[in-house]
């Protein structure tokens, strides 16, 4: 806590995997229909650390609602082509890393002296581009890949 109302936060989770589906791609050189239109285009793993600040409205209450805003950096790795892309010979996908905003609302609820429950929902704005190479139609540049993330969390906390 930087003051009774303002908290600095660093949020980091384990990497997780996303599908890259035709509906994630808003502007592509090659349309999803040309690649069969139904199957996913590939997968990627990503990690999205967030640095932000939370404002607690009732810091001395047993129930402490808050809102937060932060900056997120998303690192993509282990990109793989699948489905129609792989069938068309595309063997390599490279997704650009991204910066975006993260916003959250949450509440801390005291359970016993020094222990509390925390629940929050966080939305992370992740937009990026990809380059796909090695296929029958030439290299592809996919713009405006939308991988926005919404996370619901329930946590247990301890005040020291």
Kindly report, residue by residue over 5-44, the tens digit of the pLDDT: 999 999 988 888 888 766 555 445 555 555 555 567 788 8
Residue 155, Cβ density class (10 Å: 0-12 exposed, 13-18 middle, ≥19 buried): exposed
Residue 49 vs residue 31, higher pLDDT: 49
Confidence of residue 90 (pLDDT cuts 50, 70, 90): confident
pLDDT at 149 over 90: no
Average pLDDT over residues 105-118: 95
Domains of the chain listed by start with CATH number:
6-158 (2.40.160.20)
d(CA 153, CA 100): 20
Note the pLDDT of residue 51: 97
Residue 35, Cβ density class (10 Å: 0-12 exposed, 13-18 middle, ≥19 buried): buried
**Which are the contacts of 81, defined by CB distance < 8 A and separation ≥ 6?**
41, 42, 90, 91, 92, 93, 132
Note the pLDDT of residue 23: 59
Does the pTM surpass 0.85? The reply is no
At residue 73's C-alpha, the angle toward residues 55 and 9, to 5°, is: 25
């Amino acid at each position: 806590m930087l003051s009774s109302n303002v908290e600095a936060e660093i949020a980091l989770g384990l990497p997780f995997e996303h599908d890259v589906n035709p509906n994630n791609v808003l502007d592509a050189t090659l349309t999803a229909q040309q690649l069969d239109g139904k199957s996913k285009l590939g997968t990627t793993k990503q990690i999205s650390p967030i640095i932000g600040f939370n404002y607690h409205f009732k810091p001395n209450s047993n129930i402490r609602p808050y809102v937060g805003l932060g900056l997120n950096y998303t690192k993509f790795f282990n990109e793989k082509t699948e489905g129609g892309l792989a069938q068309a010979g595309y063997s390599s996908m490279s997704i650009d890393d991204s910066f975006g905003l993260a916003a959250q609302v949450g509440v801390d609820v005291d359970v016993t002296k020094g222990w509390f429950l925390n629940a929050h929902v966080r939305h992370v704005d992740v937009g990026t581009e990809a380059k796909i190479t090695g296929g029958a139609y030439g290299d592809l540049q996919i713009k405006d890949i939308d991988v926005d993330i919404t996370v619901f969390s329930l946590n247990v906390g301890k005040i020291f």
